Amino acid sequence: MQNIEPYYRWRDDYVASEDESSPFYGREYSEFEYSQTIYNYYIHPQWDNMGSSTLYIKILFVDYDEQYAIIELLGEWNDCIENDIMTFKRNIIDSMLGQGIKKFILIGENVLNFHADDESYYEEWYEDVIEESGWVAMINIRQHVEDEMMNNSLHLYINLGSHLNNVAWRPLKPIHVLNTVEYCLRGGRQLSVG
What DSSP string runs through 90-115?
A: IIIIHHHHHTT--EEEEEEEEEEEEE
156 belongs to a structural domain: yes
Domain housing 140: 16-185
Count the domains in the chain.
1
pLDDT band for 5, please (50, 70, 90 cuts).
very high
- Give CA 17 to chain center in angstroms: 17
Mean pLDDT for 8-18 is 97
pLDDT band for 192, please (50, 70, 90 cuts).
very low
193 belongs to a structural domain: no
φ and ψ at residue 155, rounded to 5 degrees? -65, -10
What is the C-alpha separation between 35 and 155, in angstroms, rounded?
A: 35
At 126-140, the pLDDT tens digits run 999 998 899 999 999
Share of the chain above pLDDT 70, in %: 96
9 belongs to a structural domain: no
80 belongs to a structural domain: yes
pLDDT band for 1, please (50, 70, 90 cuts).
low
Mean pLDDT for 138-143 is 97
What is the C-alpha separation between 1 and 127, in angstroms, rounded?
A: 35
5 belongs to a structural domain: no
**Beta partners for residue 75, in sequence order:** 55, 111
Is the confidence at residue 121, as pLDDT, over 60?
yes
Share of the chain above pLDDT 90, in %: 85
Is the confidence at residue 194, as pLDDT, over 50?
no
Residue 139 · residue 158 · CB < 8 Å = no
Mean pLDDT for 139-162 is 96
Mean pLDDT for 94-117 is 97
CATH number where 179 lies: 3.30.750.24
* pLDDT of the residue at 191: 44
171-177's contacts with Cβ under 8 Å and 24+ in sequence apart are: 173/10, 173/13, 174/10, 174/13, 174/14, 174/60, 174/61, 174/63, 174/70, 175/63, 175/66, 177/70, 177/105
At 15-60, the pLDDT tens digits run 999 999 999 999 998 877 888 899 988 999 999 999 999 999 999 9
4 belongs to a structural domain: no
* pLDDT of the residue at 187: 82
2 belongs to a structural domain: no
35 belongs to a structural domain: yes
The DSSP letter of residue 156 is G
* pLDDT of the residue at 35: 85
pLDDT, averaged across the chain: 93
